[in-house]
Amino acid sequence: MLEIKDSVAVITGGASGIGYSLAEYWINRGGKAVLADVNPESLNMAAQKLKTRVATLQCDVRNEQDCTKLAAFAMDTFGAVNMVAPCAGIIKDGLMIDIDTETGKVNNKMSFEQFTSVININLTGVFLTIRECMEQMVNHNCQGLICLISSTGSLGTAGQINYSAAKAAVSVMPRVITAELFRRKMAHKIRCVAIAPGYVKTPILEGMNKTALDYILKKVPIGRLIDPEEIASLAGELFCNQALTGDVFFIHGGLRLDSKG
Ligand SMILES: NC(=O)c1ccc[n+]([C@@H]2O[C@H](COP(=O)([O-])OP(=O)(O)OC[C@H]3O[C@@H](n4cnc5c(N)ncnc54)[C@H](O)[C@@H]3O)[C@@H](O)[C@H]2O)c1
């Protein structure tokens, strides 16, 4: 079992929601955290609340150089990278093709920007973050976990072709990365998993259609949103338990996993 105490976590999207909760969980257990976020104000507020064993860096995960700097910054500041949690993410929901119920004709299309902006952060940003952090982990002989954040949306949610496509791609990464590390006899040292949450009580949900969210919540057997602390706790267990790698771990309160029309 690994211990969180004295381990270093690099968390993107660390100023809010799941990323912030993970930082709090980590630091409360004696770990050190590097928080990266595109939003400098909320990053400062997060650091003030967390107080100790925390360093922050403004970082746009779409930018390759920012991700390189982030991984190097973690090494320079705390001397290791043991946990990588790329939590930066956005939603921009909408139907790919919307059809007027009266005329039967298309009245709206998801724009190129609406599609690519989600892919650029939620998929390319994850790739850049973990590639740069893994390089540092390998070169400095660090042990630990790459903990990706997928979603139940990876199974295909109506109104989220951009988000679902990105999350499905993220869901396959633990298998690819674990297989690649296995080839190089490193899979016991650097593990990779994904957490696939259902609906979690964080600011990202403010971008969701309220009626759609209420409808979905009626289908959650535990009858409430997941708390971000519950995601952090799962990430902590995944880090410590070295038998866990190469897989996707769902956490959704019993939600029926199907495409919601
Ligand atoms: N909340 C949910 O219901 C839920 C469910 C499943 C998966 N997730 C995933 O969890 C992750 C965290 O989401 P959250 O719910 O905490 O949302 P959140 O909105 O609370 O936090 C996301 C953070 O990412 C930051 N960010 C956005 N674009 C960025 C960029 N280009 N570079 C760096 N940082 C950027 C934001 O500033 C914000 O601080 C996301 O990947 C999201 O898709 C969330």
Per-residue pLDDT of the chain (261 residues; tens, 9 = 90+): 999 999 999 999 999 999 999 999 999 999 999 999 999 999 999 999 999 999 999 999 999 999 999 999 999 999 999 999 999 999 999 999 999 999 999 999 999 999 999 999 999 999 999 999 999 999 999 999 999 999 999 999 999 999 999 999 999 999 999 999 999 999 999 999 999 999 999 999 988 888 888 888 888 999 999 999 999 999 999 999 999 999 999 999 998 776 655
* Dist. CA 3–CA 46, nearest whole Å: 24
> Is residue 236, in this structure, part of any structural domain at all?
yes
Q: E strands of the chain, at which residues?
A: 8-12, 32-37, 54-58, 83-86, 97-99, 106-109, 144-149, 190-197, 248-251
C-beta 202 within 6 A of ligand 1: yes
Kind plus residue range of the DSSP H or E element containing 17:
helix 17-28
Residue 17's domain spans which residues? 8-251
Ligand 1: which residue has its CA nearest to atom 42? 89
> Is residue 260, in this structure, part of any structural domain at all?
no
Please list the residues that pair with 195 across neighbouring strands: 149, 249
> Is residue 256, in this structure, part of any structural domain at all?
no
The structural domain count of the chain equals 1
Pocket test for ligand 1, best of 10, 18, 21, 206 (most atoms within 8 A of CB): 18
Instruction: Convert 16-36 to b/e letters by CB count within 10 Å (16 or more is b).
Output: bbbbbbbbbbbbeeebbbbbb
pTM over 0.95: yes
Structure-block tokens of residue 3: 């211990």
> Is residue 257, in this structure, part of any structural domain at all?
no
> Is residue 259, in this structure, part of any structural domain at all?
no
Structure-block tokens of residue 52: 């100790």
> Is residue 19, in this structure, part of any structural domain at all?
yes
Ligand 1: which residue has its CA nearest to atom 2? 200
The domain that contains 222 carries what CATH number?
3.40.50.720
> Is residue 120, in this structure, part of any structural domain at all?
yes
> Is residue 237, in this structure, part of any structural domain at all?
yes
C-beta 121 within 6 A of ligand 1: yes
Ligand 1: which residue has its CA nearest to atom 30? 60
Q: What does the angle CA 59 – CA 84 – CA 141 come to, to the nearest 5 degrees?
A: 115
